[in-house]
Amino acid sequence: MPKRHLVFGFLLCYAAAVSAQQEDHAFMGVTGHSLNAEEAQALGVPGGAQIDYIYPGGAADQAGLLRSDVIVSCQGEPLVHFGQMARHIFALQPGATVQVGLLRAGESIELEVELGSFQSFNARIGFPAPPLRVDSWIGEELTLAELRGEVVVVVFWSMQSILWKISAGQYDKLATEYGERVRFIGVHVANEQFDKQTPEAIAAYLEKTPFKGAVALASGKLNAPPDQPKGYPLVQQDFIFERLPAVAAIDRDGNFAYRGEGSSSLSEVRAALDVLLSGEDSP
pLDDT at residue 80 in the model: 85
pLDDT of residue 154: 96
User: How far apart (Å, rounded) are the C-alpha atoms in residues 93 and 48?
Assistant: 23
- Percentage above 70 pLDDT, the chain: 87
Give the 3-state secondary structure of residue 20. coil
- Cβ partners under 8 Å of residue 16, min gap 6: 24, 25, 27, 90, 118, 119
CA gap 23, 236 in Å, rounded? 26
User: DSSP secondary-structure letter at 180?
Assistant: G
> Between residues 281 and 40, which one has the greater pLDDT?
40
What's the rounded Cα separation, in Å, for the pair 65 and 111? 8
Tell me the mean pLDDT in the region 149-177: 92
Closest CA to 68 of 38, 87, 84, 48: 48
| pLDDT score of 8 | 39
Give whole-number Cα distances, 16 to 20, 96, 118, 143, 188, in Å: 6, 16, 7, 32, 29
Task: Tell me if 214 sits within 8 A of 147, measured CB to CB.
Answer: no
Whose CA is closest to 219, among 167, 160, 266? 160
Q: CA-to-CA distance for 113 and 10, rounded, in angstroms?
A: 19
The answer to whether 99 and 110 are in contact (CB under 8 A) is yes
pLDDT for the residue 209: 92
Residue (of 61, 57, 68) closest to 111 by Cα position: 61
Cα distance between residue 102 and residue 15, in whole Å: 24
What local confidence, expressed as pLDDT, does residue 100 receive?
94
What is the C-alpha separation between 7 and 59, in angstroms, rounded?
19
**Mean predicted lDDT score pLDDT of the chain:** 84
Least confident interval from 53-67, 132-146, 193-207, 221-235: 221-235
- Beta strands 107-114 and 97-104, pairing class: antiparallel
CA 180/CA 176 separation, integer angstroms: 9
Whether residue 121 has pLDDT greater than 90: no
**Domains of the chain, start order:** 3-122 (2.30.42.10), 128-276 (3.40.30.10)
Q: Cα(120)–Cα(7) distance, rounded to whole angstroms?
A: 22
Prediction pTM value: 0.71
